[in-house]
Structure 1
């Protein structure tokens, strides 16, 4: 999971991109980077670390021009750390351009081997570089009946050709000297939003980043859409037609996106609140507790919905240290364990002598829940019931979430009673798949629920 942002026809485009990336920091904390252009040259800065740490004032002063793209990274393909920081700036036979990618290509290893056997030299280990080499060796392709604007006839056929060869999830931004190109995979796994302020255009993984740059949200890039913006305007193409099946990642609503974002045609806040309401309806008459508390931050909104629906009072029984990052998206288990201890503190007056229900957005490995239950008991909770506002995660994700192996998933090793024992809770309840789908618009044919159901929308290698 990563965050991407782009700005076109904007004075100090790199500064606007910096602000956008800062707003998207929750989507990736390993590295940050910006590439800009003044129409003549490209300027690139990318480093390991958070946006505020990695990109300094002197860096922004070097990033000249009125167009820029940026990226914050959380690795799902390739080595962790700063080596695979994006954007990637490349000189190819089709010209020089930069690219930033959010998603995961399921046929990355196959394509990389084919390209390497053909003489391509890879500098990085992330799947993003595959786009670069596919464009470089492309002979071009335009689907029959699709007419291109004169400005797009030189480069776009090579991008179309590259996109038809990749499989999996991608939302990408490409920066050329005179334009930005945005593209989203035909199933629409990852969101990519479009904003505007006057004659300036913006692109972002989430709509919330438009607020900080003063832009107005216009719409979401459609699945399979390729959009070009340059000095002559904005143009939209659908080289792969319109597929009825969509596969929006439902985990974006459950965990990754900020609650104040608008993605997939809905507000994240409203969806999370409905998830909590559905959980309360499923547990009606089955839960006897004094108070319900959230695991901050992504558990807060479902808890509001749960409390409103159930009538059980909500309190803040855990306080989060916001100077510590998100534990689930840390790349190693050791870092995740440390972050859990550092970021949460119990509020003893809320917990002491109480039967407590605690709501979290998901339960993936069980590490966080186990430590939280112990923390609540030490703070005096008489009973601790863990409620999860999503179904059990049983299958790995191949589209950009860090759930790489079934062995890591606690719901793949134990039944619900076994998980309850492992985390030390008095009760454990999950939202059903049906309840989750009732909380979103569009139903099963609109969302990817593979991590819960094993129903993958594309062919994947489960070996």
Structure 2
């Protein structure tokens, strides 16, 4: 089963993490939180809990949360008032390439007791760490870079698990948000640049950690604050203890969280993701005007930007394309004939609305360009007079190495073609992207991008990596700076 067999032309956030402490039947809340974070990973998920009388309990499954953790007996097998969970995509692209042992959270038994860990992001020096650990006798069970942290913790001489985690993370480079647990503590950590998100919430007398605020909403938890870049929080019955195990650095939060990854009802930095996406559409309309009859989103991720484009341009907004909300992942082994239908299985054009009209299609990004071509063909077949693409992000010309499933650079359309060449390749009347400055303005930076000290991580657009991707360089990747 392909992890996204009919939608392989999008960047994929690889993970979502959730944890809670001080609540009755923690597994119920973890399952609900993971359900709210399902958009961050639909291939597999796992939950680990602890009960003071029966110890640690775990369940790891392939597939969706709703299909695995709502079945009778599964949640009942996960007792306790503390628990963490994880949902994932894999960069391998197929379930067959992923073993159940790769599914997080991971668990380790240490001298001072057991601990479980769930990780969102990517450790960019994991290959060298893994080689070193194997040479010293460590035996790995998974292909995940996250397991390196468990082995580094095992080799630390610190007396507590939080201190061992600090030791391990000081060796790690890249981007990470981590939710971990011991028998009595819930731990949350963000990397020094704060590339990947993590928020703290309050649920009655308990506490919650999650990748996004939408996961707090589903369980009725109150948002407290974001975990700061480089911060570790250790939560126990005594409350929340905050420490800073890393040297202070300027935040470089992933700007693609605002463009696509996060749910539109989440917020970061006090800013609504929906409002940022709507404002991207406003910037697009100002930067790339065109005469047309209708502004139509490519659902669902293009909708807020299309609304903003319509509002700013005065061109009517219309739902010219309808998504089949019930397709999901139900085609387990589709035939080649069915697979060749591609996006037609999930998207359908409103012919009566489109016929004879000049259409502006708004999407969040162009990666390989294959989906854009197919949608263009559907719109023209429906009788559109003109098709204009407006993209709510700059051209994606560089791969991400910080926890996002990105094609290799040679497979990124913008890495190999100019904007005009992309327009001709897709076959539309016009193709325009929001500028990097426009994207920054939409995200609340009135002056646009500070080129000498960028406010966000935008490496997928700019090629400027805030943390050197050492593993990938070792494998032959040439960064922009070296290429120039």
Q: Do the two structures share a fold, i.e. TM-score over 0.5?
A: yes
Is the partner of 2:107 in helix, strand or coil?
strand
Residue from 448, 452, 457 that aligns with 2:457? 448
Residue 304 and residue 81 in structure 1: after superposition, are their counterparts in 2 closer, same or farther (change >3 A)? farther
How many Å separate the matches in 1 of 2:321 and 2:247? 48
Matches within 5 A, 1:287-302: 287-302=290-305
How many Å separate the matches in 2 of 1:179 and 1:313? 53
Q: CA deviation at 1:192?
A: 0.4
How many Å separate the matches in 1 of 2:100 and 2:375? 31
Residue from 39, 54, 57 that aligns with 1:43? 57
Do residues 23 (structure 1) and 32 (structure 2) align? no
- Residue in 2 that maps onto 1:324: 327
Deviations along 1:154-211, one digit per CA (max 9) or x if unpaired, are: 2222111101000001000111111111000000011101110221101110001111
Residue 335 and residue 68 in structure 1: after superposition, are their counterparts in 2 closer, same or farther (change >3 A)? farther
How many Å separate the matches in 2 of 1:299 and 1:83? 36
8 Å CA contact retained: 1:76, 1:104: no
- Residue in 1 that maps onto 2:402: 399
- Residue in 2 that maps onto 1:255: 260
Residue from 282, 288, 293 that aligns with 1:283? 288
Deviations along 1:268-300, one digit per CA (max 9) or x if unpaired, are: 00110111100011023xx11111100111100
How many Å separate the matches in 2 of 1:439 and 1:47? 39
Residue from 361, 381, 395 that aligns with 1:378? 381
Residue 265 and residue 380 in structure 1: after superposition, are their counterparts in 2 closer, same or farther (change >3 A)? same
Say which structure, 1 or 2, has more relative contact order (CA 8 Å, 6+ apart).
2
Do residues 67 (structure 1) and 70 (structure 2) align? no
Is the partner of 2:116 in helix, strand or coil?
strand
How many Å separate the matches in 2 of 1:264 and 1:185? 16
Residue from 179, 186, 194 that aligns with 2:192? 186
Count of residues in Structure 1 that have an aligned counterpart in Structure 2 = 441
> Aligned-pair RMSD on alpha carbons?
1.8
Residue from 119, 124, 128 that aligns with 2:137? 119
Q: CA deviation at 1:242?
A: 2.3
- Residue in 1 that maps onto 2:113: 95
How many Å separate the matches in 2 of 1:28 and 1:337? 24
Do residues 366 (structure 1) and 369 (structure 2) align? yes
Matches within 5 A, 1:70-85: 70-76=85-91, 79-80=97-98, 82-85=100-103
How many Å separate the matches in 1 of 2:28 and 2:82? 10
Q: CA deviation at 1:364?
A: 0.8
Q: CA deviation at 1:366?
A: 0.7
How many Å separate the matches in 2 of 1:325 and 1:417? 34
How many Å separate the matches in 2 of 1:121 and 1:339? 42
Is the partner of 1:174 in helix, strand or coil?
strand
- Residue in 1 that maps onto 2:207: 201
How many Å separate the matches in 1 of 2:340 and 2:108? 38
Is the partner of 1:224 in helix, strand or coil?
coil
Further displaced range: 384-393 or 317-326 = 317-326
Matches within 5 A, 1:411-426: 411-426=414-429
Q: CA deviation at 1:446?
A: 2.2
Matches within 5 A, 1:143-292: 154-243=160-249, 245-284=250-289, 287-292=290-295
Residue 274 and residue 77 in structure 1: after superposition, are their counterparts in 2 closer, same or farther (change >3 A)? same
Residue 207 and residue 337 in structure 1: after superposition, are their counterparts in 2 closer, same or farther (change >3 A)? farther
- Residue in 2 that maps onto 1:14: 27
8 Å CA contact retained: 1:47, 1:54: yes
Further displaced range: 72-81 or 317-326 = 72-81
Q: CA deviation at 1:53?
A: 1.4
Deviations along 1:79-137, one digit per CA (max 9) or x if unpaired, are: 54644111112223453111111001110111111111111100000111011001001
- Residue in 2 that maps onto 1:329: none
Q: CA deviation at 1:338?
A: 6.2
Residue 422 and residue 81 in structure 1: after superposition, are their counterparts in 2 closer, same or farther (change >3 A)? farther
Do residues 410 (structure 1) and 398 (structure 2) align? no
Residue 412 and residue 317 in structure 1: after superposition, are their counterparts in 2 closer, same or farther (change >3 A)? same
Is the partner of 2:35 in helix, strand or coil?
helix
Is the partner of 2:467 in helix, strand or coil?
coil
